[in-house]
A and B are shown apart, each in its own frame.
Chain A
Amino acid sequence: MKIAFVAILAPLGVWAAAPGRPVTFTRDIAAILTKNGCNSAACHGGVKGRGGFKLSAGGLHPKDDYDWIMKGGVYQVLTDQVKGERIARVDLKEPERSLLLTKPWNTTPHGGGRRFERDSEDSRTILRWLQAGAPLGADGPRLARLEIAPALATMAVGGSAQLRVTAHYSDGTKEDASRQVLYAPNDGDVVSVDAAGRVTGKQLGETAVLIRAAGHVASAAVGVIGPPVTGYRKPAANNFIDEFIFRKLERFQIVPSETGSDGEFLRRVCLDLTGTLPPVERTREFLASRDPARREKVIDALLGSPEFADYWTFRFADVFRVAIFANGLTPKWSQKYWEWIRANVESNRPYDEVARERLSAQGYGPASRHFIPYNQLGTPADMMAEEVRVFFGRRLDCAQCHNHPYENWSQDQFWGMAAFFGRMFKMGPIVFDHPETMHLGSKDVNGKMELLHPRTKVPVRPAFLEGRTPAIGAATNPRQDLAAWMTRHPYFAEAAVNRIWGHFFSRGIVDPVDDFRSTNPPTHPELLAALAQDFRSGGHNLRRLMKTITMSRAYQLSSSPNASNRTDRVNYSRSLPRALDAEVLLDAVVAVTGVEETFTTAVTDNSAVGQAPARTRAINLKDPDMYFSRFLELYGRPSRGAIPERSGKPNLAQAMHMLAGATYVERLSGKDSRLARLLGAGASNGDIFEEFYLAALARRPEPEELRDLNQLLAARGDREAGLREFVWALISSREFAENH
Chain B
Amino acid sequence: MSKELLETGMLSVFVFVRWSKEAIRRHWPALGKGILIKSGTGVRRWCILLGSGRPKMEIPVYSMAPGLRPWSIFILLTWPAVAQQKPDEPRALSVYPFTVEPGTDFRVTVRGNGIKAARAIHHAAPGLTFTIENAESETGVPRNPAELLTVRVVVAASAAPGIYPFRVLTPGGVSNALSLRVSGTPVTREPDGVHDEAPQAVNLPNLPAVLTGRIAKRGESDLYALDARAGESITFKVASGLPSIGAPGGNSNGFDPSLTLYEAGGSWFDPKRLNRVAFNDEPLWVLGELTDAHMVHRFTRTGRYYLRVDAFSGQGGPDYGYELAILPGAGSPARPEPPGAWSERRFDRPLTLTRMNELALRGARKAETSSIETYRAGATVKLPAAVDGVLEKPGAADRVTFTIDGPTDLAIELETPATRPPEFNPYARLLDARGEEVATTISVGRGACTGAMTKSLQAKLILPVRDPGTYTVEVRETTQDLADPDFRYRLVIRPQVPHVGQVSVADDHLNLTPGAARTVRVLFDREEDYRGAIAVSFENLPPGVTALAGADFEPDKDPPMHPGKRERYVARQERSVAMLEAAADAPPSAAPVMARVKVRPVLDGKVGQVIYEREIPMMVISKP
A contacts, CB < 8 Å to B: 274, 276, 278-279, 282, 298, 301-302, 305-307, 309, 325-333, 335-336, 339, 342, 346, 360, 362-365, 374-376, 425, 427-433, 438-442, 444-445, 447, 475-477, 480, 598, 600-614, 625-626, 639, 641
Docked complex Cα distance between A610 and B285 (Å): 17
Chain A residues near B4: list those with CB within 8 A.
604-606
Docked-complex contact B479 and A428, CB < 8 angstroms: no
- Nearest CB to that of A425 among chain B residues? B455
Question: Could you say which of B42, B314, B457, B482 contacts A610, with CB atoms under 8 Å apart?
Answer: B314
Residues of A within 8 A of B56 (CB): 606-608
Bound state CA distance, A327 and B61, in angstroms?
10
Q: Is the CB of B314 within 8 A of A477?
A: no
Q: How far is the CA of A639 from the CA of B308 in the complex (A)?
A: 29
Check: B253 CB closer than 8 A to any chain A CB. yes
CB of B421 within 8 Å of the partner chain: yes
Would you mind naming 17 contact pairs between A and B with Cβ atoms under 8 Å apart? A282-B268, A328-B252, A329-B58, A329-B285, A362-B480, A362-B482, A428-B456, A439-B437, A441-B443, A442-B444, A475-B395, A477-B480, A603-B8, A604-B7, A606-B56, A614-B219, A639-B42
Residues 251 to 297 of chain B near chain A (Cβ within 8 Å): 252-253, 256, 265, 267-270, 273, 275-276, 279, 281-282, 284-286
B245 touches A428 (CB 8 A): no
What separation, in Å, do the CA atoms of A605 and B437 have in the docked complex?
55
Interface residues as binary, B306-337 with A (CB distance below 8 Å gives 1, 0 otherwise): 00101111111100000000000000000000
Bound complex: CA A301 to CA B268 (Å): 7
Asked if A608 and B284 sit within 8 Å, CB to CB, the answer is no
Tell whether A476 pairs with B314 under 8 Å between CB atoms, given A445-B445, A604-B54: no
Q: How many A-B residue pairs have C-beta atoms within 8 angstroms? Tell me.
A: 231
**B437 and A438 contacting across the interface, CB-CB below 8 Å:** yes
Q: How far is the CB of B279 from chain A (nearest CB, A)?
A: 6
Closest chain-B Cβ to A588's Cβ sits at a distance in Å of: 13
Whole-angstrom distance between the alpha carbons of A614 and B215 in the complex?
13
Cα distance A444–B478 in the bound complex, in angstroms: 21
Contact of A604 among B8, B284, B286 (CB under 8 A): B8
Contact between chains at A609 and B423 (CB < 8 Å) = no
Are A610 and B218 closer than 8 Å at their CB atoms? yes
Is residue B40 within 8 Å, beta carbon to beta carbon, of the partner chain?
yes
What's the minimum C-beta distance from A419 to chain B, rounded to whole angstroms? 16
Q: In the complex, A437→B105 CA distance in Å?
A: 66
Enumerate chain A residues within 8 angstroms of B443, measured Cβ to Cβ. 441-442
Inside 8 A of A444's CB, which chain B residues have their CB?
Answer: 444, 562, 564-565
Q: Residue of B at shortest CB range from A375? A: B60
Bound-state Cα–Cα, A342 to B278, Å: 11
Q: Is B442 close to A, CB under 8 A?
A: yes
- Chain A residues, CB < 8 A from B282: 336
Q: Please report the C-alpha to C-alpha distance between residue A428 and residue B287 in the assembled complex, in whole angstroms.
A: 10
* Contact A327 to B60, CB < 8 A, known contacts A425-B455, A603-B8: yes
B273 closest partner in A (C-beta) = A306
A325-B43 contact in complex given A428-B456, A447-B453, A614-B196, C-beta closer than 8 Å: yes
Q: Is the CB of B422 within 8 A of A428?
A: yes
| Chain A minimum-CB-distance residue to B423 | A364
Return chain B residues, CB-CB under 8 Å to A612: 219, 314
B interface residues with partner A (beta carbon < 8 Å): 4-5, 7-9, 40, 42-43, 45, 47, 51, 54-60, 63, 142-144, 196, 218-221, 245, 252-253, 256, 265, 267-270, 273, 275-276, 279, 281-282, 284-286, 308, 310-317, 395, 397, 421-423, 425, 427, 429, 437, 439-440, 442-446, 453-457, 476, 478-482, 562, 564-565, 568
- CB pair A376–B7 under 8 Å, yes or no, is no
Q: Which of B221, B286, B313 contacts A429 (CB 8 A)?
A: B286
* Known A363-B422, A608-B56; 7 more pairs at CB < 8 Å: A305-B267, A327-B58, A329-B58, A430-B479, A433-B479, A480-B481, A605-B4
Smallest Cβ distance from A502 to chain B, in angstroms?
A: 25
B221 proximity list for chain A (CB < 8 A): 613-614
Given A329-B60, A332-B285, A608-B252, A282 and B269 touching (CB < 8 A)? yes
Q: How far is the CB of B230 from chain A (nearest CB, A)?
A: 19
A332 to B56, CA, bound (A): 17
Contact B63 A374, beta carbon cutoff 8 Å? yes
The answer on a CB contact under 8 Å between A432 and B478 is: yes
CB distance from B51 to the nearest CB of A (A): 8
With contact pairs A445-B446, A608-B252 given, residues A639 and B43 touching in the complex (Cβ less than 8 Å): yes
Contact B60 A429 (CB under 8 A): no
Report chain A residues within 8 Å CB of B256: 332
The complex places the Cα of A641 from the Cα of B64 at a distance, in Å, of 14
CA distance A439 to B568 in the complex (A): 15
Contacts of A425 in B (CB 8 A): 455
Given contacts A429-B286, A447-B453, contact A328 B43 (CB under 8 A): no
User: Within 8 Å CB of B482, what residues of A?
Assistant: 362-363, 365
Whether the Cβ atoms of A279 and B270 lie closer than 8 Å is yes
Q: Which of B196, B253, B446 is within 8 Å of A613, CB to CB?
A: B196
Give complex CA distance A274, B252 in Å.
Answer: 37
Task: Chain B residues near A309: list those with CB within 8 A.
Answer: 276
**Which 7 pairs show the lowest CB-CB distances between chains A and B?**
A441-B444, A611-B219, A610-B314, A362-B479, A610-B313, A611-B218, A364-B422
A326 lies within 8 A of B313 (CB): yes
Distance between B229 CB and nearest chain A CB, rounded to angstroms: 23
Q: Judge whether A610 and B219 touch: CB under 8 Å.
A: yes
B40, B143, B316: which contacts A606 (Cβ < 8 A)? B143
Residues from chain B with a CB closer than 8 A to the CB of A335 are 281, 312
Q: Is the CB of B562 within 8 A of A445?
A: yes
Chain A: minimal CB distance from B224 (Å): 15
Q: Which of B268, B316, B481 contacts A477 (CB 8 A)?
A: B481
Chain A residues, CB < 8 A from B446: 445
Question: Is A328's CB under 8 angstroms from B481's CB?
Answer: no
- Establish whether residues A427 and B478, one from each chain, have CB atoms under 8 Å apart when the complex forms: yes
Q: Which of A302, A432, A438, A604 contacts B429 (CB 8 A)?
A: A438
Q: Contact check: which of B59, B281, B444 meets A332 at CB < 8 Å? A: B281
Whether A305 pairs with B480 at a CB distance below 8 angstroms is no
B468 to chain A, nearest CB (A): 20
Q: Is the CB of A440 within 8 A of B455?
A: yes
Q: Is the CB of B60 within 8 A of A325?
A: yes
